[in-house]
A = this chain, B = another copy of it.
Amino acid sequence: MRHTIAVLLENKPGALTRVTSMFARRGYNIESLAVGPTERHDVSRITLRVDAEEHSLEQIEKQMHKLVNVLRVQELVPGEAIERELALLKVSAPPSARAELMALGEVFGAKIADLGPDSIVFELVGSAEDVDSFEELVRPHGLQELVRTGRIGLARARSGSGRSRPKVLV
């Protein structure tokens, strides 16, 4: 089963490697990972997606929390978190295919980031499933390049209810 995990860690050289190498040592493949700055300048946030059984995941998360520089580990539970992903897709687009591609883009709310004589670069933000669907639709036109950030996520703003907080694991 796939899980999305958010890790807050001190912004130090080697901190990211300690987290990823724990997965590597155990033979887990990280499907996507995004790390970037947070609201605190000395803290980074990793959001990663991994395929693991529930019990293996708990072990990994406990181990992760013991690592130097790791401050918090949290699972983002689908439906209780806002999850988004950004993708850039460069698609073959001779003038004859342009209108059809632009119409597909419009359905998904994709922006045109660049337009060349033979190709279009789409910028798409959505759930991972939205990105998958759009990718599938444009692939027959010739998908030249695809870059995805991997999903990032936050607890919902409606956290007043108390029900919608993400599960803090360790």
Chain A positions within 8 Å of B, measured between CB atoms, are 6, 11-14, 16-17, 20-21, 23-24, 27-39, 45, 47, 82, 84-88, 90, 111, 113-121, 123, 125, 139, 143-150, 152-160
B21 touches A120 (CB 8 A): no
B114 touches A158 (CB 8 A): yes
A146 touches B33 (CB 8 A): no
The one of B14, B21, B84 in contact with A113, judged by C-beta atoms closer than 8 angstroms, is: B84
Number of copies: 2
The one of B23, B30, B111, B149 in contact with A152, judged by C-beta atoms closer than 8 angstroms, is: B149
B38 touches A114 (CB 8 A): no
Task: Give the residues in chain B near A159, CB-CB below 8 Å.
Answer: 116, 119
B114 touches A147 (CB 8 A): no
B33 touches A35 (CB 8 A): yes
A33 touches B13 (CB 8 A): no
The one of B39, B118, B120, B123 in contact with A146, judged by C-beta atoms closer than 8 angstroms, is: B39
